[in-house]
Structure 1
C-alpha cells in the first residue's frame, strides 16, 4: 500500500472557524453550545495528514478532501473524493470503511473503536459534562478568529494524544471549523471545515451502509 493511501486511511480513523456572531466567554462555552444545540451538521472538509519524519528525512504530508455529515447520537459519514474515493460511515452500531479502488470494506464495532476519538467527541454526547468521563478539557487562547479547546483523553494508552477543536460563532449558533488531532505515534491530522450547515434535515439513508456486491468484507 502506498504512503498516500496508507496515511489517508490512517487519517480517516484518527479522526468522527472566524467569529461572526455573539462572542462566547471562551472555547469551552462555545464547544458546550455546539454540542447542546447542534443535532446534525453538514460541511465540506480538507484534511492534511503529516507523519513524523524518519531519521534523515523530512516530514511527509498528504492532502485529501470531501464532505462530512453527522447526526446525534453517534451517526456520521465522511465521503472522501480526492485523492482516493473512500467512505467512512458510522450507523450507531458499526463503523464501516469502504475503499472503492481496492473494493474492500472493513466493519468494526463502533462502541469499541470510537469511545475516545475526535468524532465521538463531537457527535456522541449531549453535553460537555458527558464527555468529561473520557476527556480533560482546557480552553486555549483565541487566535485566527476562532475559539479553541484542547481535549486530552484520560486514558494514556489510546491512539489519540490530544485534539484541538476550533469553533466560530455564526448567526445560527456555533460552527465547527478545525479539528487538529495529534496521535500517540506523532502523526498529525488537521481537518478544516467549510460551508458548515447547522441542523440540516438529513435523510436516514445517509447513515446506512451496504457493502457493494463482490467487495472483500473484513471483520476483525
Structure 2
C-alpha cells in the first residue's frame, strides 16, 4: 500500500523503475532461454505476419534465434560473427559482430553496453508492462527505435520500428535463466550444399 501511495505521489518513480529493470537485466541476467512470438506489421498498419521460435543468449554477444514457423530461419551470434541462415533459400550470410550488432535488438538482449549505443527513456506503463524507449545514438542504421517491456523483473516484450515503416513486436514467455546454454549452442556449422555470402 505504501509503495502504491508513493508511486501516486511521485509519478516519476514508477517510470524510473523501468530503467532500473532494463539496467538490472543487462547487468545481472548473464544467460537465458525463451520461446517467442513475433508479429510484424507493414507500414500500412494492416498487413501482419506472425512467426514463432526460440531464443537463447549468453553475454557477451552470444545469441541464437531459431524461427520455426511459418519460415525456418536461424540467426547465430558466436561473439565474433553473426550467421543468418535462410533454410528455404539454402543461403547463409555472415557479418562481423561489430557490424551486425551495434544498435540492434540483439544488443539489448545479449550485449553489455546498451547505454553506449542507445539513449534510454522510461515511458508510461502500457498493456500491464513497464516500458523503456531505446533510440540509437547513431541514426544511419535501419533501426529507428525499440521499446523494451518488463513485467516485474522479467523481460516480456520488444517492440521495434525500422526505417521502412515496419513495426515488429516480440513477446517472450518467462525467460529461463537457471541453466547456462551449452557452448555449442552459439556455434554455427554451415550445412552441406548451402551458399555462403560474407560481405
With the length of structure 2 as denominator, give the TM-score of the two structures: 0.88
Cα-Cα RMSD: 1.6
> Is 1:192 equivalent to 2:179 in the alignment?
no
Count of paired positions: 186
Offset at residue 101 of structure 1 (A) = 1.8
Where do residues 3-82 of structure 1 align in structure 2 (5 Å cutoff)? 25-53=16-44, 59-82=46-69
In 2, the alpha carbon distance for the partners of 1:185 and 1:199 equals 38
Offset at residue 33 of structure 1 (A) = 1.1
1:145 corresponding residue in structure 2:
128
What stretches of structure 1 of length at least 5 have no aligned partner? Answer: 1-22
Offset at residue 144 of structure 1 (A) = 2.3
Selected match of 1:163 from 146, 152, 161: 146
Offset at residue 108 of structure 1 (A) = 1.0
In 1, the alpha carbon distance for the partners of 2:169 and 2:84 equals 20
Greater RCO, CA 8 A, separation 6+: 1
Offset at residue 27 of structure 1 (A) = 0.6
What stretches of structure 2 of length at least 5 have no aligned partner? Answer: 1-13
Shift in alpha-carbon separation, 1:71–1:107, aligned structure 2, 3 A? same
With the length of structure 1 as denominator, give the TM-score of the two structures: 0.80
1:211 corresponding residue in structure 2:
190
